[in-house]
Structure formats: C-alpha cells, structure tokens
Structure 1
C-alpha cells in the first residue's frame, strides 16, 4: 500500500486525503490544530463554492449540510456612480446552486470523517525537519499549508505573478440581521470604481445561517480602514462605509449583529503563483497544493473553488500514475492538470483587480440590458475558462455582442 502524507487540513488537504483513502492509499494528514480548536477559533474566509467544486465534494460523500446551508442561487452586480446611486446593475441565476459553509463548521467534521474512513490524523506544527522525516517515510508528501515557513520553500513564479504587493486591504464579518436580497438568495457584488469592492453572501456558521460582509479596499484609499480594529469596531466601520459608498446595501444592514467575537477577519496579501515542487535540504522533493501554489485575491471568490479543483486534479493524477515513483516529473504533471483550469481563474482575477478596460465597461452595460449576457458573466464564476471566449479580449467581446444582437 502506497503511503502519502499531506501537511495541512484545509479544504484541499482534507478533500485529497479522503479521496485517496477511498482508493486504498495509506494516508497521514498533519494539522497544526485540532477540530475543536478550529471550531472555536477565528473565521478563515468567505469560501463561496460554486457548482463544480461542490460536485467534487458530493462525489466523495462529503456534503453533510444540504438544505441547512442557505443556497446561493444567483449573483447580482452593482456599479456605484459616486453620487450615492448605481451607474448600472444586473442580476442572474446560477445554473448550479452555490453554497458557503464556514470552515469552522466544515473542517472539524471532515477531520472526523477522515479518521473514520481509516486515515491517520496527526496534530503537529510541521516544520522543514518534519518534512524531511515525512519524505523519508512516505512515497509522496503534499504540502497544503498555505502559510508559515514550509510554504516559503516554494519559489515564487515571477512569470505567473504580476503583483509583488497586496492589491487590496481585505476585511470580512459574519453577521445576523441582514435583510435578504429582494429577488433571490445569493451574492451581491458591488464595485466602487477606483476605491474597491463590497460583497455579501449567505452562509452557514457555527450558530446557524448568517450573512458574510466582505470589503476589498484599494490600499491607501478610503476603504482601507480595517487594520487594528476590534470586532465591534470593524462592524461599525463597515456600516459607516456602506452608508457613504453603497447606501443601497446600508438599507439591508440596519439591525446587524456579529455572529460571534471570532466572526471577523482582516489582512492583506500579494496574489502569488509559486512553482509546484520544493526541494528539501536533503534533496527530497515535496508537492505544493492549492493556496501553496496558487494564491489569488478573493475578489472573484476562487480560493476554495481552486482548492477543491486542485485536490480533484491531484487525486486523478495519483490514480493515473499507478505504481510508478512520485518524482519531480509526476509532480509537475499533477500541477499541470490543475493549472489548465487555474490559469484562467488567475488571469481573470488579476484582471479584475485593475481598472476595467473599455470593452468590459461595454459588456457590463450590455449585461444590464440583456439577461443572456448577465447569465454568462455570473456563471463564469463557476468556470472562469469561459471568460477567455468573450470577456477578456476586446475583439472577442465585440464579436460576442454582435452575435447576441443578431
């Protein structure tokens, strides 16, 4: 039986580990926290997951929430006009319902399921020396911990990483008391041109259904106000910014309360793609997974989706590889299967961080008048590869608008 060690018990590490167990592999998963510590800790992300990623979970029997989690049935886009109103707006239904489950809910249950299915769960803060030991004892070591010293072993890929500094100041809050959207449950995506973005989405947290508020502020701008705030101060700042920049969202937020004092998060990071293979001091090689190798800004909500897709790609690569050694060539091939999808998500996400070009403004304007265009944009969040057929290129956009008009 081939032995695989996975360092990191997040979306990707657990999904890959449970998938491997189902095919008879000997899997050890190393986590720096117990399930109880995760459940009682701070929120980690907004984690809206679209249809393709959720299908990977269902295929492994990992959907334990069903109707308990509020559905994300659609997505609405609003562009602020700088005068307290909207320059344009459109809304469309997703072809497949999306969902957001607080990782404090999901990961402890998945950790228990991993152990129940025969996996070995080790609670330990792994360092480079530990990786050396795991590499000596295992046929393959996969690093799924996106932060800390071991993530730094993976070299930044400068050709695929256009930014070397954070492009947004990030802050989110889990709340109750938000008035639902009028048309359908879903994501509200609000753009304040030149200043940043504001999102909302329904979610399931430790205390039940809730909503997530999420600000992305251009560094140094008026939406960059979240460093060093207490949870209550952060929520008050959110409400102040809503009244100033997106007042139609402020109307939904008159009676908010935090779900808990661990229900806020703030920070910033540079979007980065790293090379998938790291070489340890001994010469042993380890394979990076998900955020370790592709860390995108959350403006397009691709983080947890990329994690799920990466785990699925690596599982397929392992199964196809059979009994051959997990050498550097295998690791590059496994990453390549993921990158075939992730390159589109990464390029689109990086483009959304900049000022929209004229052809994108024209597409958004057309989407506000034509539900077919709105639906295509909204469903691109599930499969960003489609954007390269009509959204990312001005010539393709012109041809698409002509086709729709005809």
Structure 2
C-alpha cells in the first residue's frame, strides 16, 4: 500500500485524497483548519462548476449536494453601454449586448465552506488520516522521507514559495483585478428567461465585471454577487473594508451606478451570514510543478499552486477538479514505481494539456476585447448557436481555439452560423 500525503484541504486536495482513498491508497490529509472552523468561517471563493468538473466529483461518489444545489442551465452575457443621452449622469443604464446561452449539461455551485467541511468529515469517516496542522517547509522536509509522494495543494502562504514562477507562461506580474464577493439571500429573478437558472456575466468596458451566480450554502439557496474591478479604477474600493454590511452596501452602490438592471433585482438582498463577504487580489501565475525541499526531497504542486488564473472566467474550481482527476490517473497508472522528478513533470504536463486552454482564455479576457471578440459577443444576441457555443466554452475552454482568438476564424465561424440560420 503506497503512502500519500496531501497538504491542503481545498477542492483539489480533498478530491485527490478521496479519490486515492477509494483506490486503496493510504492517504494522510493535512489541513490548517478543522471542518467546523471551515464551516463557520468566511467564504473562501466563488465557484461555478460545469459538467466535466461535476462529473469528476460523481466519479468518486462525492457529489453530496447535487440534489440541493440549483441547476444552472445557462450563461448570460451583458455588455454595458455608456449613456449617450444629453445631460444624463446615470453612467451605464443600457445593455449594448445581452443574451443567454444554454449549457449542454447543467452547472452547479456549492459554497466551499459546506463542501470542504463535508468532504473532510467523509475522508475521516472512510478511514483517512486527517491531521489538523499548518504545514511549513521544514515539516515537508521530514514528511518527504516518510511518504511515497507529497502533494502540495495549499495555494497560499509559505509553501507556494517553493515553486518557481514560470515566466514564459505568466504574462502578468501584478494582479489584474480587485475582487469582491458577497453571498446574499433575496435576489429577484432574472427578467429574461426566469424559468431556468443561469450565471450572469456583466461586462463594463474599462471598469470591470460583475458575475451573479446561484449557489447553495449552509442557509440554503443563495446568490453570489462578485465584482472584478480594474485595479485603481472605480470598482477598486473594497480594500480595508472589514464590516460585512459596509461591503454589501458598497456592492449595491456600484450595482446601481454601473448595472442598474442587476440593481433592480437586488434592492432587497441581505447577506447570508456574517462570513458571507470576501475581498482580495492576486497576480495570475503559472509555476514550475516540482518543489525542492532543503533536505533534497521533492514535492508536487497541485491546482492553484501551479496554475493560478484570474477568476474572470470562473475556472478556478473547475481547474482544481480537472487537476485532481488528472493527477489521480497519473498516480494510479504509475503503479509501484517511484514518484521521481520525471514522473512529477509528466503528471503536470498531462494536466497542462487541458489547463493551457484555461490560461490562454482567461488572460485574453483580462485585456480589452478586440473587435472580432466584440463581433462574437454581439452575434450572440442574434444567433442562438453562437450564444450556446460561448456558454459551453466555460465547460471546455479548448473549444475557443477554433473560433475565438483569430479574426479570420471568428469571421468564418460567424458567417457559417448566419448562413445556416
């Protein structure tokens, strides 16, 4: 029986721990917080997991909240247009672009406080060794000699510094968005297609984005209001705001100014709980996958440790799930051979085969959209197949390679859809 240590109890670390446990591995999981501390703490992220990532959870029988979480059947895109009427000061009252694409398979969002706490308890109940202790590099130096493989999935703190930044794959050295999240009850229905749940992506050119996603939390069904602001711009006002009610008031104030159609359904919202807000920022970074310990041991980086994209495309938890599934396959297929540096690199390369498309798409969406991308977004209002294809790209970002980046491919694609309409 091979002994595996997983450091970090997030989406990927827990999924790997549960998946390997089911395959008969002796797994130890290290977390710096107990399940109860996670459950009663502050929200950790936004998350909307699409079909492929959800299927990875089903594959390890860990889809415990599937019956309770809203079934998200669409992705809506709106682009705010500036007010051109004389003497108006209302900012961005119009939608230059507005449509909803239907997903081939539904997506879901479960508050990670609920999911991670539940998964940790399940891992322990299934016989896993759960260690509540923050891990330092010196700890891993010792553990690397007692385990066959050490996986680091703690995406923040000292441990990340062991992994070298991959400059060739990391075009940004500074955060590209200031992030602000509020989990709320009481949001009104979408005015368009209220008969099914959808994620709303609102783009305010030069200012930032607002995402609205239905979710399931410990108080039941809720919605996430998630601002992504260009640093230094008008949305970058959440730093230093500690009071949750002040955070929500700021969120709504910005909604009223920049996205009045979303504000109209948010006038009666209240926070799900005192821990329902989060703000921060980080630079999107790809890192080398092998971490070297002072004593000569090697550890393998997981998910956000090695590929941390901006959340502007909603891929964080999806990528974590896909990384976990890929690593599980690489570990199991390797049998009883040593987990040496060459294997670690190959395991990461296998994951990068899919992760590279997420990074390319996300980095493209952080910049000002070129004309051919505006043409694609605009066509979604007229041509439902375009809206649907863009929506399904959230599940499989590799598809954007065929029509999204190159002006000629974009034009040919739009022409073919229009001809068939």
Q: TM-score interval w.r.t. the shorter chain?
A: over 0.9
Q: How does 1:242-321 map to 2 (within 5 A)?
A: 242-321=255-334
**Structure 1 residue 367 corresponds to structure 2 residue 370:** no
Report whether the alignment pairs 1:383 with 2:392.
no
What's the offset of the Cα at 1:405?
Answer: 2.4
Q: How does 1:187-202 map to 2 (within 5 A)?
A: 187-202=199-214
Matches for 1:43-54 after TM superposition, within 5 Å: 43-54=43-54
| Residue 156, structure 1, aligned to residue 161, structure 2 | no
Quote the Cα distance in structure 2 between the aligned partners of 1:108 and 1:220. Answer: 36
Which one of 203, 208, 222 corresponds to residue 215 of structure 2?
203
Give 3-state SS (helix, strand or coil) of 1:252's partner. Answer: coil
Q: Secondary structure at the match of 1:366?
A: helix
Compare 43-52 and 111-120 and name the one that shifted more: 111-120
Offset of residue 207 of structure 1: 1.0
Q: Tell me which residue corresponds to 1:89.
A: 98
Aligned to 2:67, the other structure's residue is in SS state helix
Q: Quote how far apart the aligned CAs of 1:322 are.
A: 1.0
SS at match of 1:385: helix
Q: Which aligned pairs between 1:8-87 and structure 2 lie closer than 5 A?
A: 8-83=8-83, 84-87=93-96
Gaps of 5+ in 2: 84-92
**Offset at residue 259 of structure 1 (A):** 0.6
Q: Does 1:104 align with 2:104?
A: no
The whole-number CA distance in structure 2 between the counterparts of 1:161 and 1:291 is: 13
1:119 deviates by: 1.1
Residue aligned with 1:100, SS:
coil
SS at match of 1:137: coil
Q: Distance in 1 between matches of 2:221 and 2:291?
A: 40
Aligned-partner Cα distance in 2 for 1:96–1:127: 41
CA–CA distance in structure 2, aligned partners of residues 165 and 15 of structure 1: 30
Partner Cα separation in structure 1 for residue 410 and residue 403 of structure 2: 5
SS at match of 2:158: coil
How big is the shift at 1:93? 1.3
TM-score, normalised by the number of residues in structure 2 = 0.95
Q: Shift in Å at residue 67 of structure 1? A: 2.4
Q: Which runs of 4+ in 1 moved over 4 A?
A: none
What CA distance in whole angstroms lies between the structure 2 residues aligned with 1:180 and 1:114?
37
Contact kept in structure 2, 1:82 and 1:192, CA below 8 Å: no
Does the Cα contact within 8 Å between 1:147 and 1:292 map onto a contact in 2? yes
Q: How far off its partner does 1:169 sit? A: 0.5
Asked whether the 8 Å contact 1:306–1:342 carries over to 2, the reply is yes
Q: Which residue of 2 aligns with 1:346?
A: 359
* Contact 1:153–1:278 (Cα < 8 Å) also in 2: yes
- The corresponding residue for 1:170 is 179
CA distance in 1, matches of 2:291, 2:66: 38
Does 1:186 pair with 2:198? yes
Aligned equivalents of 2:115 and 2:291: distance in 1? 29
Secondary structure at the aligned position of 1:270 is classed as: coil
- The runs of 5 or more residues in structure 1 that have no matched partner are none
Native 8 Å contact 1:176 1:256 kept in 2: yes
2:183 is paired with a residue whose SS is strand
Q: Is contact 1:82-1:245 (8 Å) kept? A: no
| Deviation for aligned residue 1:368 | 1.1
In the aligned structure 1, how far is the partner of 2:13 from the partner of 2:312?
23
Quote the residue 2:412 is aligned against. 399
Report if the CA contact (8 A) 2:383-2:418 is conserved.
Answer: no
Task: Give the corresponding residue for 1:215.
Answer: 227
| 1:197-223 Cα shifts (integer Å, max 9, x gaps) | 001011011111100000000011111
List per-residue Cα deviations over 1:326-373 (Å, max 9, x = no partner).
Answer: 001100111111100000001100100000011101111111100000
Q: CA–CA distance in 2 between the matches of 1:181 and 1:275?
A: 43
Say whether the 8 Å CA contact 2:151–2:299 is kept in structure 1. Answer: yes
TM-score (norm 1): 0.99
RMSD in angstroms over aligned alpha carbons? 0.8
CA deviation map 1:23-76 (0-9, x unaligned)? 111110000000000001100011110000000000100011122111211111
